[in-house]
Structure 1
Amino acid sequence: MKKFFSKYYTDLFLGKRLFIALGVCVALFLFSFFIPVLGDLPYLFFGVLLLLVLLDLVLLYRTKKGVFLRREVPERLSNGDDNELKIYLENFYGFPVSLGIIDEIPFQFQKRDIWFKAHLASREQKIITYLLRPTKRGEYDFGLTRLYVQSPLALLSRRFNIGSPKTVPVYPSFLKLRQYELMAVSNRLTDIGIKKIRRLGHSMEFDQVKSYVAGDDYRTVNWKATARKGDLMVNSYTDEKAQHVYCVIDKSRAMRMPFEGLTLLDYAINASLILSSVALVKEDKAGLITIAEKTKNVVPADRRPVQLNKIMEVLYKEKTRYLETDMEALYSTVRATLKQRSLVVFFTNFESMSALERQLPFLKRIAKFHLLLIVFFENTSLKALSEEPAKDVQGIYIKTIAEKFAYEKKLMVKELARHGILSLLTPPQNLTVNVVNRYLAIKANQQI
């Protein structure tokens, strides 16, 4: 008996209608003491309620598996993006049912209100879709899916515990990666904000001889091909290929600053992955270096199909450190790893001129051998403060300090340019677009 009870009735819950009916029953019994006319009505009402409860119990438990449920979770989630999850439902009962669904999502989302309602007729199917946006990389543990079923009487609820715990890894933003890959293949990067760069010349890498069309540079006319075909022909050139593009990611405490749920490190990781993808599509070689108090990971530049997966596997595990960046170790790694002139995109952050000055000697050394692009971030909170009108003396002080820090960022750009180092000062939300823009501009201007 105990085994039977634990098997079937631990997942049985009382519904709201039952509590309302019991309340009415109690009220009838109470009023029957003062109103004799009610007679046996309270007993009759209670008896009917008891029969309905037994009927509801039979309806819910007469089949072992009344409702089918399957939760569809991707094999991996994309960090910082909306990931789609689905719950597939099918009703095997011979009557319509009302469903309540609790999905036990990972604790990292800090949500306790994942509750869905659905109504299914007999043999009806339905798919519930919802979105989750992770903001940290790592492993996320999904629990069970709790399904609560009610018959049309809705006096009782039967619970089904469906599925099993599942661990899903959260990788850097690969959903946007696919979008940028498709755009780069079709040369439609302008559709997502990538600017079209005007060429100041043309690459010396020959592509093909083609017929002249309006707008072609007359200096590229191929007179021999024109004489043979009897029509005006021009030489077509393409961007130089197999150039080395290295993303260097600073993992020190300067990159721990949060912005819209993600740290600056996460923004840098997402941008590095997309930049590497675009570089590979453009037939360049992509590589990666991560650095904190010492060099952490090095992925030598390559353009084989597996290169992007190698970079993603390294970036998946990266976390910010609490120490300063060892620029001497970075310089030694760059000199030992990069055997030819390369584009080095260094994702870091400077909050003061003194922080830049400490690293500047090593940056100048790297810039002697490679084309160095420093990518650092605007402090959007301070920028917003500097643009707000001051209402009192304290507000004037705050606004002045905010403007001072914002001005220092602009001074850093000028200081880097004075030493022949390229720089990109960008808000975190525009990082990816701005970095890919700059890469395309560098290739168009043949600076590598």
Structure 2
Amino acid sequence: MKKLFKLFYTDLFLTSRLFALLAGSVVLFLLWFFFPWLGVVPKLFFWGIIVTTFVDLVLLYRIGNAIFAKRHAPERLSNSDDNELGIYIENRYSFTVQAGIIDEIPVQFQRRDVLFKTTLKAGEHKLISYALRPVKRGEYAFGSIRVFVRSPLGLISRRHNFEQAETLPVYPSFLQMRKYELLAISNRLNELGIKKIRRLGQSLEFEQIKNYVPGDDYRNINWKASARQGSLMTNSYTDEKSQQVYCVIDKSRAMKMPFEGLSLLDYAINASLVLSNIALLKEDKAGLITVAEKIGAVLPADKKPTQINKILEILYKEKTRYLEINMEALYSTIRNVLKQRSLVVFFTNYESLPALQRQLPFLKRIARFHLLLVVFFENTELKQVSEQPARDVEGIYIKTIAEKFAYEKKLIMKELAAHGIQAILSTPQNLTINTINKYLELKARQKI
């Protein structure tokens, strides 16, 4: 009995309407003190409030499970994307209610405004949708759903609690991966800024012998097959397949820098996931290597359907380290794991030319055996500072330093090009598009 009473008063809340009426009652009693002719009006008004409150109490508490609510959430959330969630709510009262719904979202979002207000008629049910955008991989713990219900009288509010604690993993941006995958399948990548690259030369990857149709290259006519068939036959060629594409992700302290809530490592991880999926769609083999002060995960290149899930599971757990990258260990791993010429996409970051020069000897050795593509980031904050006009001496110094760092990024590009190393200098938000563009360009030019 004591427990039931405790549940009763902990879930009971007085509304602002009730306080307004009580305040009006106090005013009437004060006026009655100065104007006795008011008679019993203040008392009738006060007892009317009491009776109405009791009726409201009976309306809200006469049914135990009068409200039902449940959260609809996906099995996993996609990092840096808007993830759709929903709350299903059903009114089992015999009258219309005003409902306020609070969903206890994970603490990582640091939001206290996830409150939804709605009106539900008798027997009505609704699905309230909302979106959450995580900016960090890991596990996100959701709490309970709290529904505050008011009857048409609106003097008190009853809270209904629905324990629905669940933990959802936040994976690298698989929603972005699916978007690019659908466009790649339908050959519509150019809609997202993916450039169409003019093919140079012709692939030597034989596909089939087919009937000649006007417009086919007459140089590909297969005269032996034509003689056997009695009609013109031509050789058909396709893009070279089963080429190895390795994404090498630097997770040292250079990748800790934040941009719009995400670290550079998260941008690199999202781009690696999309690039690996595009490579698999192009029937190439995708592999993965992560490195900091020591080698992290090593996944040999493969083109099995399960490969993208293996890459996703590895990238889900990766975190930034606080030490410098061990290039000697990376070079040794690449020489031991990569047994044939491959495209090595190295995601890292350089803020100065000396930072590159420390790693350059190892990069040149890798480029000797493989096609190396170095992807690093443009510092957009410094770029904005360098483009703003200086208003005083201090502003001139700041602008000059910002321009110096921006210029060093260009020097890094020239230094890499001088040693025959492909490079991409990209803003974080355009990293995925620029990386796919470069991959398709290298493939079209048959450099892999």
TM over 0.5: yes
Size of the aligned set, in residue pairs, is: 448
| Closer/same/farther in 2, CA of residues 229 and 115 from structure 1, 3 Å limit | same
Q: In 2, distance between residues paired with 1:294 and 1:62?
A: 65
Q: Structure 2: how far apart are the matches of 1:377 and 1:21?
A: 62
Aligned: 1:292 with 2:292: yes
Q: Kindly indicate whether residue 196 of structure 2 is the aligned counterpart of residue 196 of structure 1.
A: yes
Can you list the C-alpha shifts for 1:147-190, whole angstroms capped at 9, x where unaligned? Answer: 00000000000001113211110000000111112222222222
Cα deviation, residue 407, structure 1:
1.1
Q: Does 1:341 align with 2:354?
A: no
Asked whether the 8 Å contact 1:86–1:128 carries over to 2, the reply is yes
CA shift at 1:225, angstroms?
Answer: 5.5
How many angstroms apart in 2 are the aligned matches of 1:231 and 1:406?
Answer: 63
CA contact (8 A) 2:76 2:169 kept: yes
Residues 1:31 and 1:72: Cα distance change in structure 2 (over 3 Å): same
Aligned to 2:98: 98
Q: String of CA shifts for 1:263-309, please: whole Å, max 9, x gaps.
A: 00000000001111111111111110000000011011111111111
The aligned amino acid for 2:287 is: G
Distance 1:212 1:381, change over 3 A: farther
Q: Structure 1 pair 326/143, CA: closer, same or farther in 2 (3 Å)? A: same
Between 1:36-45 and 1:386-395, the stretch displaced more is: 386-395
**Could you tell me how far apart the structure 2 residues matched to 1:403 and 1:226 are?**
65
* Contact kept in structure 2, 1:25 and 1:46, CA below 8 Å: yes
- Amino acid across the alignment from 2:332: S
- 1:398-444 CA-partner distances (Å, limit 9, x unpaired): 22211111111111111111111111111110000110111111111
Q: Helix, strand or coil for the counterpart of 1:401?
A: helix
Question: Match of 2:83?
Answer: 83
Q: Give the distance between the partners of 2:378 and 2:210, measured in 1 at CA.
A: 46
Kindly indicate whether the alpha-carbon contact (under 8 Å) linking 1:70 and 1:163 is maintained by their aligned counterparts in 2: no
The 3 A distance-change label for structure 1 pair 123 and 23 is: same
Contact 2:70 2:164 in 1 (8 A): no
SS of equivalent residue, structure 1 residue 45: helix
Paired with 1:273 and 1:305, the residues of 2 have a C-alpha distance of: 14
AA aligned to 1:247 is C
Aligned CA distance change for structure 1 residues 190 and 236 (closer, same or farther; 3 Å): farther
Q: How does 1:299-448 map to 2 (within 5 A)?
A: 299-448=299-448
Superposition pairs of residues 93-242 of structure 1, within 5 angstroms? 93-210=93-210, 216-223=216-223, 234-242=234-242
The match for 1:254 is: 254
Give 1:216 deviation, angstroms: 4.9
Distance across 2 between alignment mates of 1:414 and 1:302: 33
For 1:244, the equivalent position in structure 2 comes to 244
CA contact (8 A) 1:284 1:303 kept: yes
Which secondary structure state, in structure 1, belongs to the residue aligned with residue 154 of structure 2?
coil
2 CA distance for matches of 1:214 and 1:57?
85
**2:82 corresponds to which letter in structure 1?**
D
Amino acid of the structure 2 residue aligned with 1:96: T
Q: Residues 216 and 414 (structure 1 numbering): CA distance in 2 closer, same or farther, change over 3 Å? A: farther
Q: Given that residues 290 and 297 in structure 1 are in contact (C-alpha distance below 8 angstroms), is that contact kept between their aligned partners in structure 2?
A: yes
**8 A contact 1:193–1:433 mirrored in 2:** yes
* Superposed CA offset, 1:369-407 (max 9, x none): 111100000011111111122222222222221111111
Give the equivalent residue in structure 2 for 1:17. Answer: 17
Contact 1:150 1:157 in 2 (8 A): yes
* TM, length-normalised to structure 2: 0.97
Letter in 2 for 1:125: H
- Where do 5+ consecutive residues of structure 1 fail to align? none
Q: Which moves more between the two structures, 165-174 or 398-407?
A: 398-407
Question: Residues 171 and 316 of structure 1 are in contact (CA less than 8 Å); yes or no, is this contact kept in structure 2?
Answer: yes
Give the conservation status (yes or no) of the 8 Å contact 1:106–1:141: yes
C-alpha separation in 2, matches of 1:148 and 1:221? 77
State the Cα distance separating 1:236 from its structure 2 match.
2.6
Counterparts of 1:232 and 1:397 in 2: how far apart (Å)? 73
TM-score normalised by the chain length of structure 1: 0.97
**Using the alignment, how far apart are the partners of 1:335 and 1:3 within structure 2?**
69
Amino acid paired to 1:80: S
Residue identity opposite 1:113 in structure 2: D
Output the amino acid matched with 1:6. Answer: K
> Alpha-carbon deviation of 1:200?
0.7
**Aligned AA (1:8):** F
Offset at residue 228 of structure 1 (A): 6.8
Q: Is the 8 A contact 2:71 2:164 kept in 1?
A: no
Distance 1:226 1:193 in 2: 43
The answer for the alignment partner of 1:41 in structure 2 is: 41
